[in-house]
Amino acid sequence: MMKKTMFLTSLLAVGLAATSIDFNLASPNPKHVAPSSASEVLSFSSSVKDAVKSIVNISAKKHQQISQNANPLFNDPFFKNFFGANRGGIVPRERAQRALGSGVILSSDGYIITNNHVVENADEIVITLPDSSKEYNAKLVGTDKDSDLAVIKIDAEKLPAIKLGHASSLEVGDIVFAIGNPFGVGETVTQGIISALNKNRVGINQYENFIQTDASINPGNSGGALVDSRGALIGINSAILTRSGGNNGVGFAIPIDMVKNITKKLVEDGKVTRGYLGVSIADLSEDFKSVYNHKNGAVLLSVEQDGAGAKYGLKRGDLIYALESKKIKDASHLKQQIASFKPDSKINMSVERDKKNLDISVVLGSRDNLASALSDHKLLSGLHLSELSAEKLYKYRLPKGLQGTLIEDVEPSSRAEKVGFQSGDVIIGVESYDIKNLAQLDDVLKKYKKRAKRFYVNRYGVILMFVMK
């Protein structure tokens, strides 16, 4: 019996020896680089010293609902994106609060870029320049909540404007520096690398195309600069992904190309207008690919009845695989491309329908039209509404599949706040009508113009009813 066991073991060894693996080996003797002499220190000081001069501290005074034990340093709203809203326990109260953040000087005559959430609903915005105790009252030029960017301006001249880089030249592994005012301690520089590019579905903004970095970003860094090793601005620091409250090496910055585009529109027009197709879209998943010839693009899950897409012939189930002859990678890519066009722009789409290729021209609509229609209803005064999306469901910790209209913000002292509406609530019904999107809400409100209405709201799984006249 022992001999048989040894024989089998030998056969097994021979069988294993029959296959091998060839490793792709790096050079066994890499060159270790150090300063060329004992009197030299490897440093990026000369690269970032000019960029540091272009970073300002922002103190925004605003009325907020805060917890009794809240630390003002943690009032930075990007923190809240990953913790959800208050679900009970400490009762919030309203008081004047100063939110700390950072900004970047873009022009010598005082234009400064920052995050929208740093200055949103601020009653007063105070700017402090580096190495100076002098304070400037800033004027709000324009905000864009969907990209989380805002432009402010101070009355000053000959300011040190930062140099701008190019998003197209960025590569994963590039050394970068995050500059800002973390925890209110003053100008700080942290170093890391670009961890990833073109990050979306993070659940922070409506339009996401983030640079991911492991450079330390903390509360107060919002609106600060992400610069390359030359000191050129490549992004605006926006958020961190954290469960503990501290930096875990997963930070996100809005890329410079988007920053330049949004800044130009805000300075010239005071707002950002985007084309609107009026469709719900999804990625071409592995299951979907079996019924389409094209293997990339965005699938239309629904088409709004009065939207631009329906008007020009788009249908549920269509696959948009190219826009203006440029291939569409996925749903996020289509969303960004549509948003890059202004309302009333005529665009050409390549569409697959029932495995046949079609060319469809569409004149884009505008989300502003729907927003203005809703703002005409006095009932909704004080509410900032938006469509639900996968990103919003994640951001507000809402269950997948929930349908309705999201309340993103409630203006302090408004009628809506007094009735009881809160940020993060989802309007799911008005009277006997189910509400699935903004267009349906608009239609229902028109039916009940001059009477009290019952609003049904989903608040983290609990259904509440409010009545407004």
Q: Could you give the CA distance from residue 305 to residue 311 in angstroms, rounded to a whole number?
A: 8
Is 407 within 8 Å of 427 (Cβ atoms)? yes
Q: Which amino acid is at 275?
A: G
Q: Could you give the CA distance from residue 458 to residue 469 in angstroms, rounded to a whole number?
A: 20
Q: Could you give the CA distance from residue 212 to residue 248 in angstroms, rounded to a whole number?
A: 12
The full DSSP string for 237-289 is EEEE--SSSS--S-EEEEEHHHHHHHHHHHHHHSS---EE--EEEEE--HHHH
Is 295 within 8 Å of 205 (Cβ atoms)? no
Dihedral class, residue 89 (left if φ above 0, else alpha if ψ from -120 to 50, else beta): left
Is 161 within 8 Å of 107 (Cβ atoms)? yes
Q: Which amino acid is at 225?
A: A
**Token duo for residue 86:** 């208050």
Q: Which amino acid is at 247?
A: N
Q: Could you give the CA distance from residue 81 to residue 466 in angstroms, rounded to a whole number?
A: 26
Q: Return the H-helix or E-strand segment holding 327.
A: strand 326-327
What are the distances in angstroms from CA 320 to CA 292, 303, 352, 354, 398? 11, 13, 7, 12, 29
Residues written for the chain = 469
Q: Give catalytic residues, as residue numbers.
A: 117, 148, 222
**Token duo for residue 390:** 């996968």
Q: At CA 223, angle to CA 149 and CA 239, rounded to 5? A: 90
- Assign 99 to helix, strand or coil: strand
C-alpha distance across the termini of the chain, in Å: 92
Q: Could you give the CA distance from residue 266 to residue 144 in angstroms, rounded to a whole number?
A: 8
DSSP 208: -
